[in-house]
Chains A and B, each alone.
Chain A
Amino acid sequence: MSELKERFRAVDEVDPPELWAEARRRAATPEAPPRAAEWPPGAARRVAVGAVAFAVFAVSVVFAWDLANPDPRPAPNPTPAAVDLAAELPEGWSELPAPPEDRSGAATAWTGSRLLVWGGYEFDGSNEDPRANGFAFDAAIRRWSELPTSPLEGRSDPAFAWTGSELLIWGGWDGGFRDRPYFSDGAAYDSAARTWRKLPPAPLAARSPFSVWTGEELIIWGSTERANRMRDGAAYDPATDTWRRIADAPADVTDGSAVWTGEEMIVFGAALDGNNRADTPTAIGIAYDPASDTWRELPASDLSPQAVTASWLDGEMIAWDYDQASAAYDPAIDSWRSLPDTPLDFSECRPTSVATGRVLLGEFCGETILLEAGEDRWRDVPLDPVLSVADCCWVLQPVAAGDVVLVSVHRYGSVGVQERRMFAFNPVGIAPDRTGDVEPEPFVPDVSRDGASTRMPVVFPDGSEALVVYPNELDLASLGVQPAVSYVWTDDPAPRYPILFLHDPDAKLTDYVHGAEPVGSIPASQSTLVWEMSEHWRTTRQLPEGHWLSFQLPSWRVLVALPRIDVVDDVNSSLRFDEVKGFPSVEATEGLALAKGFGESEGSTLSIGDGTADPSTSRLDSTIFLSPDGCAPGSDISVGYGSNCLADGNVFASIYGKRAFVSDVVDGVRVVNFRPT
């Protein structure tokens, strides 16, 4: 990393031109034509804003506007503290209390601490009666409660949006029970005050429209009614409690998705008739820019018009269809690029997807798949076998809730709804973010080639040594190797305190420690320091004490969590750290002991890949955990797919990742020359 930063510092040798005079000249030209990325001038709330916009600019516009126009609305009710489910839940799937009813076509919102669900219907095999009530899931106490009675009739598929304080709902479908089965009224639910208010009449006919929230307005457009197509729309501003008409669109869309890019609403899908015949050979997109009140048409996609879905993820609209095809549209360059096919079989289902800031979770016929931001590959994240989705008939409803996706499900049969459950998918393990801005340096050990094999000498944290041999094409070393000692303790079973190895002697500790300076040092060693632990670490690891003892090795920085600050001298004198062949090792004496155990969760471990032995920070994508003394000699411990004893019967491996990776490791990796401590 330091070399890379040196490279960046070399950029300072390039001399920029003097541009201040040019900036002043341009600023002095008040009638300058709108530029591609012109900032809206102060007096005008909306003028042309160009092609690439980001949410931050909408924020700034709001603030600039507020400077001159104080918000006339009363201060919002205090809202409950946000609940970070990603920090609270284990990675992957976990189960939460089931909802009272599992609603399809409902208005939903994540408030930061509650999941709101209103309206919709619970499909039981034949019935789609829309409901006029709703529920709230309070994530802090993990309980469902009923929402107050709303002023709206029951409906499904309304336009809806969470404004930050209110759930806005407009329009929708009544299930076909009236002569005119669509609604043209709306209401807003204040989650903190638990009150409803009616919205003023919209300048639109009744419908079930596409909708997005821009940060300022709820934009509703078109209709999902195939027999009565509409190209008009309107926008509701809760700050002024008013509607405005928007320009008519240049095309019809009845089936698909609407996404907000930060600057435009993109409606992507197709216009279908009652027999699922599409107007166009492929799915189409139209984009509405509220700044200029204009529409544009997207370049043609290669996706199916029959059943397609889209979500906004990391600067692109990710779209995929029921034929396994997927593509990404970048409005900054107005073009599509292909993505790998989804790992799904063709089926007669409608795909759906939701995106958090980091991942897109897709649902198709009960199968769930994932696309991570910045990584062009889909992966299976099955609810199977927990849910046995192969058994008829489960209905899944995914909703983004902060960094996790909540999926409520229900199973129905001949006697109606038989079972309801709710799951959370937490992608914490797949992206290197849980440590904030700290990017742990991957440690790439030295290797040697021997024909088609690569030999990687390793030293476990307890001092055991071995040689990992693998096919060259696996290139395991480049994945990085991370040592871990799960715990050191004084009184079994508690308290237990982790040791962290940071492969960078100059590693920034900003995410681990509180304050810029250590709070103490060991007199005999100026490089052994005591730091106050960051609140984040203390909270997420549920550690009662808040201090680290940091040791310095030639190429590692080692952090030991202190059970109590008054044991700092004991811990310092009882732990011996060393560096062997580039690997750190630790020896515990005088009352301290390193944990011994089975598998990756205890004892001395090396993880090859993105993971670490700590589940709350690991990224279990193509990762092998190696533990010495994990297997009885000669035993055959294949306790599950991906777990195995390798070499000499002593080294235990747990392998995580795509199935192909796991198979390659099980088939091709061997550990030889194991030498225990």
Chain B
Amino acid sequence: MDAKHRTRGSYPPASVKEPVALPPCPIDVHDEVVEADVERDRGEPVGAEERLERVYREQADRLWRAVLLAFGSRDVADDAVAEAFAQALRRGRAVRDPAAWVWRAAFRIAAGELKERGRVEGSENREPVVGMPEPFVDLWRALALLPRMQRSSVVLADYAGWSHREIAKALGSSASAVGVHVHRARKRLRELLEDEDV
């Protein structure tokens, strides 16, 4: 037996390859529909920038708040949202569903920003929340105590209203794993928010 196959003992080897990555899922039919609906509802075709600006007016506030909740930084939220829309503008009509695109891009960019800044998880990395409404501050602090995937998952589920499948696509996970994250995040948040010391 070749040395590379030999496990160091009497038990026989199990030289099993890593499972292959699953092929990419097809884009949702929903993605196709969104663009068509946008144009049909308005009665006539619109330019890519005009279409994206509509998305900005309808979605950007909510997107910014979601990124703020998930990543804990106004700077990161500012930069991620602006950059997501900038990149969507550069791509023009190649972006088939701009709303979904900028949401995913913003979360991805925000994660990259945090990495660049060398941040790690934890409440100590959250910025001060002076001047923000009290219910928000409580939630903000509680979210900071969750692991990153739980935090992003529950924000996208309970604030943005995404399905587990959509969240999984954005976070590089699976719908079932997202289900676990959301379930645990809600449970933990409830515990934390009931604690006045949070």
Task: Find residues 98-120 in chain B having any chain A CB closer than 8 Å to their own CB.
Answer: 101, 104-105, 108-109, 111-116, 119-120
Flag whether B148 is at the interface (Cβ < 8 A). Answer: yes
Flag whether A64 is at the interface (Cβ < 8 A). Answer: yes
Known: A348-B11, A398-B16. A24 touches B179 (CB 8 A): no
Flag whether A662 is at the interface (Cβ < 8 A). Answer: no
The 8 Å CB contact of B9, one of A11, A255, A335, A347, is A347
**Chain A 417-439, CB within 8 Å of chain B: the 1/0 string?**
00000000000000111001101
Known: A16-B61, A160-B20, A373-B177. A11 touches B14 (CB 8 A): no
**Which B residues touch A398, using CB under 8 A?**
16
User: How far apart sit A23 and B90, CA to CA, in the bound complex (Å)?
Assistant: 10
Flag whether A163 is at the interface (Cβ < 8 A). Answer: yes
**Which A residues touch B90, using CB under 8 A?**
27, 30, 41
Flag whether B47 is at the interface (Cβ < 8 A). Answer: no
Known: A60-B27, A215-B21, A349-B11. A13 touches B172 (CB 8 A): no
**Which A residues touch B12, using CB under 8 A?**
104, 123, 125, 393, 395, 412
Q: Cβ of A56 and Cβ of B182 under 8 Å apart?
A: no
Q: Cβ of A39 and Cβ of B87 under 8 Å apart?
A: yes
Q: Cβ of B181 and Cβ of A374 under 8 Å apart?
A: yes
For the residues of B in contact with A, the DSSP-based class is helix
The 8 Å CB contact of B24, one of A39, A215, A335, A397, is A215
Task: Find residues 434-448 in chain A having any chain B CB closer than 8 Å to their own CB.
Answer: 436-437, 439, 442
Known: A53-B108, A357-B174. A215 touches B23 (CB 8 A): yes
Known: A226-B4, A398-B16. A20 touches B53 (CB 8 A): yes
Residue of A nearest to B119 (CB): A333
Q: Cβ of B112 and Cβ of A400 under 8 Å apart?
A: no
User: How far apart sit A59 and B22, CA to CA, in the bound complex (Å)?
Assistant: 12
Residue of A nearest to B8 (CB): A348
Q: Cβ of A334 and Cβ of B115 under 8 Å apart?
A: yes
The 8 Å CB contact of A37, one of B9, B17, B111, B133, is B111
A63 to chain B, nearest CB (A): 6
**Chain B 153-188, CB within 8 Å of chain A: the 1/0 string?**
001001100011100111111111101111110110
B168 to chain A, nearest CB (A): 8
Q: Cβ of B179 and Cβ of A432 under 8 Å apart?
A: yes
Residue of B nearest to A610 (CB): B183
Known: A14-B136, A26-B83, A314-B173. A212 touches B164 (CB 8 A): no
Q: Cβ of B159 and Cβ of A8 under 8 Å apart?
A: yes
User: How far apart sit A123 and B163, CA to CA, in the bound complex (Å)?
Assistant: 46
Q: Cβ of A433 and Cβ of B180 under 8 Å apart?
A: yes
Residue of B nearest to A22 (CB): B82
Known: A51-B115, A53-B108. A274 touches B3 (CB 8 A): yes
**Which B residues touch A311, using CB under 8 A?**
18-19
Flag whether B132 is at the interface (Cβ < 8 A). Answer: yes
A467 to chain B, nearest CB (A): 25
User: How far apart sit A311 and B21, CA to CA, in the bound complex (Å)?
Assistant: 11
Flag whether B144 is at the interface (Cβ < 8 A). Answer: no
For A, the interface residue count at a CB cutoff of 8 angstroms equals 132
Most buried by A among B78, B114, B136, B168: B136
User: How far apart sit A68 and B94, CA to CA, in the bound complex (Å)?
Assistant: 9
Flag whether A50 is at the interface (Cβ < 8 A). Answer: yes
**Chain B 60-75, CB within 8 Å of chain A: the 1/0 string?**
1110110011000000
Task: Find residues 1-56 in chain B having any chain A CB closer than 8 Å to their own CB.
Answer: 1-5, 7-27, 49, 53, 56
Flag whether A646 is at the interface (Cβ < 8 A). Answer: no
Flag whether B126 is at the interface (Cβ < 8 A). Answer: no
Q: Cβ of B177 and Cβ of A36 under 8 Å apart?
A: no
Flag whether A372 is at the interface (Cβ < 8 A). Answer: yes
A342 to chain B, nearest CB (A): 16
Flag whether B145 is at the interface (Cβ < 8 A). Answer: no
The 8 Å CB contact of B183, one of A55, A68, A366, A432, is A432
Flag whether A327 is at the interface (Cβ < 8 A). Answer: no
B140 to chain A, nearest CB (A): 9
**Which B residues touch A315, using CB under 8 A?**
148-149, 171-173
Known: A27-B86, A42-B94, A314-B173. A10 touches B114 (CB 8 A): no
Taking Cβ atoms with an 8 Å cutoff, the residues of B that contact A are 1-5, 7-27, 49, 53, 56, 60-62, 64-65, 68-69, 77-78, 81-87, 89-92, 94-96, 101, 104-105, 108-109, 111-116, 119-121, 132-133, 135-136, 138-139, 147-150, 155, 158-159, 163-165, 168-177, 179-184, 186-187, 189-190, 193
A-B pairs with lowest CB-CB distance, top 9? A348-B9, A357-B174, A164-B23, A54-B172, A36-B112, A26-B86, A37-B112, A10-B135, A27-B89
Show 15 residue pairs from A and B whose CB-CB distance is below 8 angstroms, ordered by the A residue: A11-B68, A20-B60, A23-B82, A36-B116, A53-B172, A55-B172, A215-B24, A315-B172, A330-B148, A349-B8, A350-B13, A357-B174, A358-B177, A358-B180, A433-B179
- Using A16-B81, A56-B169, A314-B177 as known contacts, list a sample of 18 further A-B pairs with CB atoms less than 8 Å apart, ordered by residue number in A: A11-B65, A11-B69, A14-B68, A37-B109, A37-B113, A50-B112, A52-B108, A105-B15, A107-B17, A164-B24, A213-B21, A214-B21, A215-B23, A226-B3, A330-B148, A350-B7, A395-B14, A437-B163
